[in-house]
Structure 1
Amino acid sequence: MSAPPDQGHVLVWQEPVQEAWIDYNGHLSEPYYVLVFGHATDNVMDAVGIGPDYREANDASLYTVEAHVRYLDEVSAGADLEVRSTVVGATGKLLWIWHEMWVDGRLRATEEILGVHVVGGGSAPFPDDIAARARELLVDPPEEASGRIRPLRRA
């Protein structure tokens, strides 16, 4: 598992498929797509400043309140996964993230999530430095985005 440096506004998470993640059809089982996307979300959180130190010091984190997954192609045992993530929307306390899972140069799945910044158990605005970093990473959402979250645009 690794988090290579970001490539512009695209943050990359890489992780191999574990044998325990393979289902009875010989492919990556549904819940493990979401697990890997969760690791990629953690990578985005680190990039915007909501990493482990911030979470511990502030009793704060990003909670997923909505997610949309598209399973586009099978992933076989032994594959090396690459998740490319972008921040496609932000408000005072919301962050919209787009993930693409790639294997061998082919798009296999996507996930978009809407996360809310939570401090001490309740939603709260991002600190100024985190909001600024989220704005720095913003890109336009892809056409494939669900449209249900589309009104969320800029910080």
Structure 2
Amino acid sequence: MTALPLRLPLHREAVRQEWIDYNGHLSEAYYVLVFGHATDALMAGCGLDADYRASTGCSLYTVESHLRYLREVPDGAQLAVRTRVLAATAKKAHFTHEMYVLPAPDAMPLPDAAPAATTELLTLHVDQATSRTAPFPERSLARLHTLTEPPPPWTGRAISLAG
């Protein structure tokens, strides 16, 4: 059996013209859409994909998020999203996504590149039939634990006018 990578592959997506707002850059709702697609990739990488959802009726529900818009993203930009799992318990997962603008579709973010946006998410594993939390399958929880890494310094912050 092949060992799974310690990191998820980058989620890649191109910005579409219809996602551009009246200021000429990516509209705020589409940052969330791209991050949502990266969450879907995380779920697939942990065995929580569409087949799992169809067969079990369970899925991840986001119950809290904190999104930071850091740089403008232009029309046609090639994006890469890096996902970090920070923690997972029997029924919860805490993770982040960092969005990078790339110079070309197959390029990698430079090691010192600054993200265009970040999000921090808390999710629950939910049985949709009962609308209650349910334990992750053992294999999925083990995969989440394998992916766990230290949090970046920007996590855990609150919104405030101070500072």
Residue 155 of structure 2: aligned partner: 145
CA distance in 2, matches of 1:45, 1:20: 27
Q: Shift in Å at residue 147 of structure 1?
A: 4.5
8 Å contact kept, 2:8–2:45:
no
CA distance in 2, matches of 1:19, 1:90: 37
Q: Shift in Å at residue 7 of structure 1?
A: 6.5
CA distance in 2, matches of 1:111, 1:55: 24
Residue 134 of structure 2: aligned partner: 124
Query: Over aligned residue pairs, what C-alpha RMSD do you find?
Result: 1.5
Q: Which runs of 5+ in 2 are unaligned?
A: 103-108, 159-163
CA distance in 1, matches of 2:137, 2:33: 28
Q: Shift in Å at residue 86 of structure 1?
A: 1.3
3-state secondary structure, aligned to 2:48: coil
Identity of counterpart residues, as a percentage?
Answer: 48
State the aligned residue count: 143
Residue 20 of structure 2: aligned partner: 22
Residue 95 of structure 1: aligned partner: 93
CA distance in 2, matches of 1:25, 1:147: 28
User: Deviations 1:57-116 (Å, cap 9, x if unpaired)?
Assistant: 000100000000000000001101111111111111001111000003441000011110
CA distance in 2, matches of 1:55, 1:124: 13
Q: Does 1:72 align with 2:66?
A: no
CA distance in 1, matches of 2:77, 2:90: 38
Question: Taking structure 2 as the reference length, what is the TM-score of the superposition?
Answer: 0.83
Q: Which runs of 5+ in 1 are unaligned?
A: 1-5, 149-155
Runs of 4+ in structure 1 deviating by more than 2 angstroms, as ranges, are none
Q: Shift in Å at residue 130 of structure 1?
A: 1.1
8 Å contact kept, 1:11–1:86:
no
Q: Shift in Å at residue 128 of structure 1?
A: 1.1
User: Deviations 1:109-141 (Å, cap 9, x if unpaired)?
Assistant: 000111100012211111111111111111111
Q: Does 1:58 align with 2:56?
A: yes
